[in-house]
Structure 1
Amino acid sequence: MMREDPRVVLNVAHTVVKRVSPFVRQIDFALDWMAVEAGRAVYRQGDKSDSTFIVLSGRLRSVIAKDDGKKELAGEYGRGDLIGVVEALTHMNRATTVHAIRDSELAKLPEGALNSIKRRYPQVVTRLIHLLGEKILGNMQQVSGPLAARGLALHTPTSKWDVGNPASNLSTVSILPVSEDVPLTAFTLELQLALSGIGTQTHTHTHGPVCHF
C-alpha cells in the first residue's frame, strides 16, 4: 500500500497525531531511542546525571568502583526497568557505571522532559518516591553493601525487586551444549532445581540440542 500510494502514510500519521494529546507528543519528541552494543557503557561513575533510561530490550549491569580499586556488582536490569531515575531526581552525579552485557535498546528521557512530567503530573513523582521507599526498605532487610549504589536503579512493579540477586529479573535462558557429549537433559534439570529458589521456571526442550527456561 505504501509503495502504491505513499499518501497513505501521511493520512495515517495525521490521524494518529490528532488522537494523541499534546503532552504525549511532547514526551515522544523528547525521547531519544538508543542502541547500545554489548560491552559499551551507558554512563560512568561520576558522570553528571542529566537523564533517565528505560530498558526496552537486552540486559545491563551496574558496577560501583570502590576506593581500593575493586569493583562491586550493584545490580542487573532487563526489559521494563528504569535506570538512573533517583540520581536524575536528586541531581546527584552517577554513583555507578552501567554497561550493556548484551546488545540492548534504551529510551533516554532527558532531565527537561522529566521535569516537565513532574510539573504536569506530580503524582508520578509521588509514585516513584513510594517505589523507591519500598526498594530501600527491601535492601535494608535483604542486601548488605553500598545501599546508595543499589538504590539508584528502579524496577517496575512487573519485575522482581530483589536487586541483590542479579538473576531475579531474567525472563528466558537458553542452554546450548558445546558438543553432543554434554548431558543436556541432566544439566538442565539440575539447573532448574537450583533456580527454584529464585522463582517459578518453565522448562521446555525444543527440537535439537537446545533447552529454554
Structure 2
Amino acid sequence: DFSDSSALIAQRSPAVQATMAGGAAASSGQRKRTAKDREKRREAVRKKRQQRAKRAEEAFDKLSDDGEYLAESRVEEFLSEAVHVPRAKLESEAVELVITTARGGRRYSEEGKNDGIPKAPLLGAVEKYGEYIRKSKDIDDMFDRFDTNKDGVLSRSELKKAIKAHEKKADRSVKGVNAHLFVEDDDIDFILEQSDADHSGAISRSELLPAIAAWEELAAIKIEKRKKGGCTIS
C-alpha cells in the first residue's frame, strides 16, 4: 500500500535519493531546453517571413510605375525577385494562380478598371503561394510519384495519398507539440472543389499546386481550431 511505499522510499540510501533527484532535475532541464529551442525556431520562422515580405515589397516598388499597381506583364519578373526563383524556372500555372488570387478569383481585371494588379492583394498572394512557387520542381516530382497508372491525372485516391505524403513532411505544432493532420474524405472534396478547374473529378499536373494550397488552407483552419481547445486533430 501507500504507507509501505513511503517507508521504502524513506529507507533508500542517500546515493539512490541523490540519483533520483538528479534525474528529476535533468528532466526539468531538458524540458526547459526543449521549450527554448522551440521558441528559437519560432523566432527564426518569424524573421524569415519578415525577410520574405520585405523582399516582395521591395520588388513591387521597384517594378511598379506608381507604387500602387503592377502591370500584369511584369508579374513574372516580380515573382522571380520576390520568391528568389529564376524566371526560367517559374511555372506558368504558378504565375496564373498568383494573378487570379490577387484579383479576388478573377483571371482578368473588371472592365473599365485599372488593368494593373493592386499592391496589397498581390503581396498577399505571394505570401500565400511563395513556398509552393519555390518548390515547383518538388510538386512535379510528387505528381509523377503518385500518378501510379500514368494516365496524366491524379484520381481521387491518388490525390489523397499525395496529400497524406505531403502532410507527413509538414512541420506543424500545436501548443509546442509536433502535430500531423488526418486527411479525410471531406478534405478531398474541398480540395477538388477548390482546384479541379475543369470539373473532371481528378487533378491534372497544373492543378496540383492549387490542390496543395487548398490543403494548406484547410490545415491552417484545423490547427487554429485545435489551438482553441479542440480535442482531436482532424
TM-score w.r.t. the length of structure 1 is 0.28
Larger gyration radius, structure 1 or structure 2 = 2
Structure with the bigger percentage of helix: 2
TM-score w.r.t. the length of structure 2 is 0.27
Structure with the bigger percentage of strand: 1
